[in-house]
Chain A
Amino acid sequence: MKREELDTLQKKVDELRAVLLFGKRALPFLEDIFEFVQQIIPVVEELKESVDATSDKLPRASKQLDKVTHATELASTEILNTLETMFGKLEGMSARYQEQQARTNRVAETIQSVSAAVDGLGENGATPEQLVRLRDVWRNHCASLWSPEDGLPETVQGLQNDCTNIMIALQVQDITAQQIAAVNRLMQSVDEGLNKLMQHFSEVPSNGNPGDYNHAHLDIQFDVAAEYVGVEDRQKAADALIESTQPAKGQGQNGRS
C-alpha cells in the first residue's frame, strides 16, 4: 500500500469518527425531538377538532345572522308598506277635513245671510222680494248642509287594520331576539373551544380560570329554528297534527295521554 493511500484511509477513518461523535452527541437531541412530537400530537389532534368544530359552527352562526337580516328586512318592508297606506288614508282624511271646514264656513255665512234677511222683514209682513230672498238664502243653506258620502267610518276601520298589521310585524322582535341568542351561543362555544386550546400553549389561562369566560349573559331561551317566514304552512301542519291527536267528538279531553 502506498503512502498516499494510507493517508487517504487515515483521513476517511477520521471522518467516520467525526460522524460517529456527532451522532453520539445528536442522539439525545433527536430523542428530545421525538418526545416533543409525541407530546404535540394530541394537541394537534385537539387543534384539528377545534378547527373542525369552529368551521362547522361559524357557517351556522352566519346563516342565523342571515335569517335575522331577512326577518328584519321583511318586517320592515311590511311596516313601511302599511305606513305608506296609512299616509295615503290620512292625506285623504286631511283633505276631507278641509272640505268640512269650508262647509262649516259656508254654513256660518248662510246663517249671517238668513239673519240679515229675517232682520229686514217688516213688522207688518214681508214684501214678495224679501220672501224670495229668504227662500233663496234658505235653499243655499240646505245645499251647504248636504255632504257627499265621505267614507270616514271605512277609512277609520282601515287605519285600525293597518295598526294591527304593524303590530303583527313587530313580532319580528321576539323572533330575531331568539335568532341572535342562538348566534351568541354558537360564538360562546367557539370561543370556549379556542380558549381551552390556548391553554395548551400558555401556562396562564388567557381569560381567567378555565371555563370562566367574559361573555355577555343573554337570559333568553331560544328556538334555533325561529323564523319569520313560512308560518302559514307550519301552522297548517301543526293544526293537522293537533286535529289528529284530539279525542273523538263527545269523549272530551280525558282520553289524552
Chain B
Amino acid sequence: MRFLIVDDSLTMRRIVVNTLKTIGYDQVTEAADGKDALAKLLTEGADFVVTDWNMPEMNGLELAKSIRANPQFESLPILMVTTRGNKEDVIEAMKVRVNNYIIKPFTPQGLKDKIDQILRSVESKPV
C-alpha cells in the first residue's frame, strides 16, 4: 500500500513515515502542502493519504475537497492528522469527506487503529 504523507513540518513527516514503518507500511511519498500533494497524487498516485490540516499554499481541508472533486480519487482513503480538536473542526473535516481524524500527538497504535478502521470501512463499502 502506497501512502502519501502531507505535512508542512519536516519533523512531523519524519515521525509519520517512521511510525508507518513500525506498523508495517514502508511505501511512502511525502508532500509539504496540499498543492504539492495534489501534484504528486496525479503523477505518482497513492492508495492512502495522511494529511495535516494547517499548511501554507493549500491546507488539508482544501486538499481533501480537491481530492473528492476528482472522480478518480472519490473513494481514496484520507486520514486527517492535526492539532485541531474542536468539535467544529471535526465536523468541518467530515463535511469534506475525510475518512477519519486523529489528533496530535498520536501514538503508533492510535495511527494503526485509524488506518485499519478506514481500510475495513473501505473494504466493506458496497460497489
Residues of chain A within 8 A of B53, CB atoms compared:
223
Q: Is B85's CB under 8 angstroms from A235's CB?
A: yes
User: Interface residues of A toward B: which range?
Assistant: 35 or more
Q: Is B56's CB under 8 angstroms from A175's CB?
A: no
Chain A CB within 8 A of B2 CB:
no
Chain B CB within 8 A of A19 CB:
no
Residues of chain B within 8 A of A231, CB atoms compared:
85, 103-106
Q: Is A171's CB under 8 angstroms from B94's CB?
A: no
Q: Is B54's CB under 8 angstroms from A241's CB?
A: no
- Which chain B residue lies CB-closest to A227? B83
Residues of chain A within 8 A of B126, CB atoms compared:
250, 252
Which listed residue, A160, A223, A241, A250, touches B83 by the CB 8 Å rule? A223
Q: Is B101's CB under 8 angstroms from A242's CB?
A: yes
Residues of chain A within 8 A of B28, CB atoms compared:
none
**CB contact under 8 A between A178 and B83, given known A168-B107, A238-B90, A242-B100:** yes
Q: Is B15's CB under 8 angstroms from A225's CB?
A: no
Which listed residue, A173, A245, A246, A257, touches B9 by the CB 8 Å rule? A173
- Which chain B residue lies CB-closest to A160? B22
Which listed residue, A164, A169, A221, touches B108 by the CB 8 Å rule? A164
Chain A CB within 8 A of B59 CB:
yes
Q: Which among B11, B106, B110 has the highest number of chain A CB atoms within 10 Å?
A: B11
Chain B CB within 8 A of A111 CB:
no
Chain A CB within 8 A of B86 CB:
yes
Chain B CB within 8 A of A107 CB:
no
Q: Is B12's CB under 8 angstroms from A174's CB?
A: yes
Distance (Å) between the CB of A158 and the closest chain B CB?
14
Chain B CB within 8 A of A65 CB:
no
**CB contact under 8 A between A174 and B56, given known A167-B18, A237-B85:** no
Distance (Å) between the CB of B17 and the closest chain A CB?
10
**CB contact under 8 A between A221 and B59, given known A167-B19, A171-B12, A253-B75:** yes
Q: Is A220's CB under 8 angstroms from B8's CB?
A: yes
Chain B CB within 8 A of A68 CB:
no
Q: Is A175's CB under 8 angstroms from B91's CB?
A: no
**CB contact under 8 A between A235 and B91, given known A174-B11, A225-B85:** no
Chain A CB within 8 A of B97 CB:
yes
Q: Is A168's CB under 8 angstroms from B105's CB?
A: yes
In the docked arrangement, what's the CA distance between A160 and B18, Å?
12
Residues of chain A within 8 A of B75, CB atoms compared:
253
Q: Is B90's CB under 8 angstroms from A242's CB?
A: yes
In the docked arrangement, what's the CA distance between A225 and B87, Å?
12
Q: Is B15's CB under 8 angstroms from A175's CB?
A: no
Q: Is B87's CB under 8 angstroms from A245's CB?
A: no
**Interface mask (A221-257 → B, CB under 8 Å = 1, otherwise 0):** 1110111100100110110011001100110110011
Distance (Å) between the CB of B121 and the closest chain A CB?
8
Distance (Å) between the CB of B56 and the closest chain A CB?
5
Q: Is B105's CB under 8 angstroms from A169's CB?
A: yes
**Interface mask (B6-37 → A, CB under 8 Å = 1, otherwise 0):** 01110110010011001000000000000000
Q: Is B103's CB under 8 angstroms from A235's CB?
A: yes
Seed contacts A223-B54, A237-B90; 8 additional CB < 8 Å A-B pairs: A164-B19, A170-B15, A172-B105, A173-B11, A174-B11, A225-B84, A242-B100, A250-B126
11 interchain pairs (CB within 8 A)? A167-B18, A170-B15, A171-B106, A172-B105, A175-B104, A235-B102, A237-B85, A242-B90, A242-B100, A253-B125, A256-B97
Q: What 4 A-B pairs have minimum CB-CB distances, sorted nearest first?
A: A234-B85, A171-B105, A226-B83, A221-B54
